[in-house]
Amino acid sequence: MGRYKWLVPTIYIVFLMLPIYWLLNMSFKTTNEILGTFSLWPREFTLENYRTIFTDPTWYNGYFNSLAYVLVNMVISVLVALPAAYAFSRYRFLGDKHLFFWLLTNRMAPPAVFALPFFQLYSAIGLFDTHFAVALAHCLFNIPLAVWILEGFMSGVPKELDETAYIDGYSFGRFFVKIFIPTITAGIGVAAFFCFMFSWVELLLAKTLTSVAAKPIAATMTRTASTAGYELGLLAAAGSLTIIPGAIVIYFVRNYIARGFALGRV
Amino acid sequence: MAIELRQVSKREGADQHIYETSLALQPQGFNILLGTTLAGKTTLMRLMAGLELPSSGEVWFDGRNATGVAVQKRNVSMVYQQFINYPNMTVFENIASPLRVAGASRRDIRSQVERVAELLQLGPMLKRKPSELSGGQQQRTALARALVKDSELVLLDEPLANLDYKLREELREELPKLFRDKGVTVVYATTEPSEALLLGGHTATLDAGRVTQFGVTGEVYRQPRDLVSAQVFSEPPMNLATASVTAGQVMLKGGVGWAGPQWLEDQRNVTVAVRPHHLLPTPAGGLQVAIEGSVLVAEISGSESVIHLDIDGRTWVSQSHGIHPYATGSTVQVYIQTEHCLYFDADGRSLMPNDRGAN
């Protein structure tokens, strides 16, 4: 028994890594090879797929657009959530618990429900097909999440810290910027990461609210067929590249991710 | 600075944290707030600091009404029981923070911080973060921050409670010295009567949101105004018995009696209070009377024995030096040091005239 205890984790990891490997595998093959033969590694290794993505504006602009609205959304969400989370963690007011819970229920509505009203509204005020439109729409589910995560981290900071600062002579604003925010950087990182992740993978709103100018990469990828037929190798390369930003962001908050999934609570 | 609480009370929802209290602290002195957890010590301090507004009454600083003055403008310092430091700053920046906010010059800050750090043995730690320090050093950092600020009122809320025994003793000795020369008014909250006695100064005994007595520490200890104040100032709790006084003779219910002090008038229903260390398992020098009881528990800690006894249906505690092992259930004689007994009337008011003190 003891000799085979590596077996189960290995099978599990192989099982998890297999789709990712296959994606990478495909991205270095030609479409002909993908369609024609079954091979565990690229027989005709090619970087042509990646070259196309980095040189063709319809592809790389997809990445720019996605990154643009994701980053804008991240900044808005965290900036709005910071004071809200502080209020929830430090003050008692009428209905605070209900309001706090109501925030989370916002996450439970499927985004599809809001696609139509957003589309109509943004078309009317000229926001349609802008990065800002998607960023704002994603705030719908990211701000509540950020508030919950930050509230958890903030509640872990004793309120005596605030009081000590006031006694030392700090004004509220100066305390908040100079002491409080640096104290909860881990929480801000985790909240930003979750905003990034959810905004990055969200497809429906992003597709509905854009057409050409702010078209996200995932929408570009749904254009599977072209004059040359199915460009599977190209799609695989594009898919591989979408994993990278998330991997980079997760690296920075890797030590706090578990607390993030617990919404900041220990 | 002279601090005065005028008919201050604090209520939050259904909880009355402080009942109407008036208290004028000893200016430039060491003022101790003594009471159990939830007696209201912390709330009183928070009212003085301005962290909370009283529900009624006023807080006066140096003859001026400071009730509505913001925390930032009160010029106070506070040290909490938990070690509160700014985690993102180094020890140096922590200590420097009140000076920086006040806009002191760079050179001034450096010299002041170094002076205080030297005083509190934090010199080699200045570049570290608070999380890299031991508990004692963290609390020293908090104390240094309170010390470096030129405040007129320093509030210390059980600052030594979370430290281990040795550090506590060390810091307890240093504390009064640190603040004495500065001429500041210090308020020090503690749950331990022995700590109050060691620190000296003035003591206010607190019980369930009320200040029961305020005065020079030794006097409050020797001449408690009432039974509640006496109990607050006794650990382990006082031994109590009902007695009657006839012709100057104090007579306990169980039949043991002795000659009471001259000022004790004849009456029924007197409560006699004996401090645990005035109930000894061996005869001592002064006036005493023997009383029999059966041993409930005998604890020996180092060189001290604590014996819990059943005497006439009441549990009494004897605390004495030396090792006195007793078997549970055995009948023993203990000696009440009658000179040191306290006497209270049926309402718990002290019967002792004000100018006398037992010890």
The domain that holds B113 is classified in CATH as 3.40.50.300
In this complex, the residue of A168, A169, A183 whose CB is nearest that of residue B87 is: A183
Q: Does A247 fall in a domain? A: yes
Domain containing B193 equals 3-232
- Give all strands (DSSP E) within chain B, no chain letters: 3-12, 15-24, 30-34, 56-61, 64-65, 76-79, 153-157, 185-190, 202-207, 210-216, 239-246, 249-252, 257-259, 267-274, 279-280, 288-301, 304-311, 314-321, 331-337, 342-344
Q: Cβ–Cβ of A169/B86 closer than 8 Å?
A: no
Q: Which residue is closest to B72 within chain A, CA to CA?
A: A169
Q: Does A182 fall in a domain? A: yes
Q: Does B351 fall in a domain? A: no
Q: Does B349 fall in a domain? A: no
The domain that holds B245 is classified in CATH as 2.40.50.140
Together in a domain, B185 and B250:
no
Domain containing A11 equals 1-46
Reported confidence tier of residue B130, pLDDT bands at 50, 70, 90: very high
Cβ atoms within 10 A of the Cβ of B92, count?
20
Structure letter (DSSP) for residue B331: E
* Spatial separation of the C-alpha atoms in residues B208 and B39, rounded to whole Å: 4
Together in a domain, B228 and B248:
no
* Spatial separation of the C-alpha atoms in residues B38 and A88, rounded to whole Å: 26
Together in a domain, A16 and A119:
no
Together in a domain, B112 and B139:
yes
Together in a domain, B317 and B340:
yes
Together in a domain, A7 and A86:
no
Average pLDDT over residues B217-234: 92
Q: Which of B232, B252, B281 is the last residue of a domain?
A: B232
In this complex, the residue of B80, B82, B98 whose CB is nearest that of residue A169 is: B98
Query: Which among A137, A143, A70 is positioned nearest to A104, based on CA atoms?
Result: A143
Together in a domain, A28 and A71:
no
Q: Cβ–Cβ of A160/B72 closer than 8 Å?
A: no
Residue B69 contacts by C-beta under 8 Å, 6 or more apart in sequence?
A: B50, B61
Give the residue ranges of DSSP H helices in chain B: 41-49, 91-102, 106-119, 135-148, 165-180, 193-199, 217-222, 227-232
Together in a domain, A23 and A83:
no
Phi and psi at residue B124, to the nearest 5° = -75, -5
From residue B230, give the alpha-carbon distance in Å to each of B222, B235, B313: 9, 10, 22
Whether the per-residue pLDDT at B167 is higher than 70: the answer is yes
How many domains does chain A divide into?
2
Together in a domain, B163 and B245:
no
Whether the per-residue pLDDT at B358 is higher than 70: the answer is no
Partner B contacted by A71 (CB < 8 A): no
Together in a domain, B148 and B168:
yes
Q: Which residue is closest to A169 within chain B, CA to CA?
A: B72
Together in a domain, A201 and A81:
yes
Average pLDDT over residues B7-20: 91
Q: In chain B, what residues touch A158 (CB-CB under 8 Å)?
A: 82, 84
**For testing contact with chain A, the best of B12, B53, B71 (most A CBs within 10 A):** B71
Which pLDDT belongs to residue B262? 85
Q: Does B275 fall in a domain? A: yes
Together in a domain, A35 and A141:
no
Q: Cβ–Cβ of A166/B72 closer than 8 Å?
A: yes
Together in a domain, B214 and B305:
no
Q: Does A39 fall in a domain? A: yes
Which pLDDT belongs to residue A229? 67
Together in a domain, B263 and B278:
yes
Whether the per-residue pLDDT at B286 is higher than 60: the answer is yes
In this complex, the residue of B78, B87, B101 whose CB is nearest that of residue A170 is: B101
Q: Cβ–Cβ of B86/A171 closer than 8 Å?
A: no
Q: Does A266 fall in a domain? A: no
Whether the per-residue pLDDT at B359 is higher than 50: the answer is no
**For testing contact with chain A, the best of B84, B85, B100 (most A CBs within 10 A):** B84
* Spatial separation of the C-alpha atoms in residues A197 and A202, rounded to whole Å: 9
Which pLDDT belongs to residue A138? 92
Q: How far is A147 from chain B (nearest CA, A)?
A: 22
Together in a domain, B280 and B182:
no
Together in a domain, B155 and B284:
no
Which pLDDT belongs to residue B207? 93
Reported confidence tier of residue B357, pLDDT bands at 50, 70, 90: very low
Q: Does B355 fall in a domain? A: no
Q: How far is B88 from chain A (nearest CA, A)?
A: 6
Query: Which among B175, B206, B179 is positioned nearest to B43, based on CA atoms?
Result: B206
pLDDT along chain A (266 residues), means of 10: 85 93 90 82 87 88 92 96 95 88 80 86 91 91 92 93 94 94 92 91 88 84 68 87 88 81 70
In this complex, the residue of B78, B80, B88 whose CB is nearest that of residue A183 is: B88
Q: How far is A156 from chain B (nearest CA, A)?
A: 13
User: What proportions of chain A, in percent to the nearest 5, are helix, strand and coil?
Assistant: 75, 0, 25
Question: Burial of B189 by CB count in 10 Å (0-12 exposed, 13-18 middle, 19+ buried)?
Answer: buried
A15-41 in b/e form (b: 16+ CB < 10 A) is eeeeeeeebbbbbbbbbebbeeeeeee
Instruction: Work out the angle between the directed axes of helices A159-168 and B135-148 (0-180°, nearest 10).
Output: 30
> Whole-prediction pTM value?
0.83
Q: Does B359 fall in a domain? A: no
Total beta-carbon pairs less than 8 A apart between chain A and chain B = 51
Cβ atoms within 10 A of the Cβ of A195, count?
28
Together in a domain, A10 and A112:
no
Together in a domain, A22 and A77:
no
Q: Cβ–Cβ of B101/A179 closer than 8 Å?
A: no
Q: In chain B, what residues touch A167 (CB-CB under 8 Å)?
A: 49, 51, 71-72, 76-78
Together in a domain, B196 and B249:
no
Percent of chain B with pLDDT over 70: 99
Q: Which of B213, B232, B251 is the last residue of a domain?
A: B232
Partner B contacted by A265 (CB < 8 A): no
Q: Cβ–Cβ of B101/A174 closer than 8 Å?
A: yes
Q: Which residue is closest to A182 within chain B, CA to CA?
A: B88
Q: Does B354 fall in a domain? A: no
Reported confidence tier of residue B112, pLDDT bands at 50, 70, 90: very high
Q: Among A248-257, B147-156, B337-346, where is mean pLDDT lowest?
A: A248-257
Q: Does B164 fall in a domain? A: yes
In this complex, the residue of B76, B86, B102 whose CB is nearest that of residue A167 is: B76
Which pLDDT belongs to residue B95? 95
Task: Give yes or no for a contact between B148 and B99, defined as CB atoms under 8 angstroms apart.
Answer: yes
Average pLDDT over residues B287-304: 88
* Spatial separation of the C-alpha atoms in residues A197 and B178, rounded to whole Å: 54
In this complex, the residue of B72, B97, B98 whose CB is nearest that of residue A171 is: B72
Together in a domain, A16 and A69:
no
Q: Does A113 fall in a domain? A: yes
Together in a domain, A15 and A95:
no
Q: How far is A183 from chain B (nearest CA, A)?
A: 6
How many domains does chain B divide into?
2
Together in a domain, A22 and A74:
no
Which pLDDT belongs to residue B196? 92
Q: In chain A, what residues touch B89 (CB-CB under 8 Å)?
A: 179
Together in a domain, B244 and B302:
yes
Q: Say which residue, B311 or B180, is predicted with more confidence.
A: B311
Q: Cβ–Cβ of B149/A164 closer than 8 Å?
A: no
Q: Cβ–Cβ of B76/A170 closer than 8 Å?
A: no
Q: Which residue is closest to B84 within chain A, CA to CA?
A: A161
Q: Which residue is closest to A160 within chain B, CA to CA?
A: B84
Partner B contacted by A163 (CB < 8 A): yes
Whether the per-residue pLDDT at B356 is higher than 60: the answer is no
Q: Does B245 fall in a domain? A: yes
* Spatial separation of the C-alpha atoms in residues A71 and A73, rounded to whole Å: 5
Q: Which of B232, B250, B265 is the last residue of a domain?
A: B232
Together in a domain, A34 and A99:
no
Q: In chain A, what residues touch B88 (CB-CB under 8 Å)?
A: 179, 182-183, 185
Which pLDDT belongs to residue A107? 75
Query: Which among A157, A191, A173 is positioned nearest to B87, based on CA atoms?
Result: A157
* Spatial separation of the C-alpha atoms in residues B288 and B259, rounded to whole Å: 10
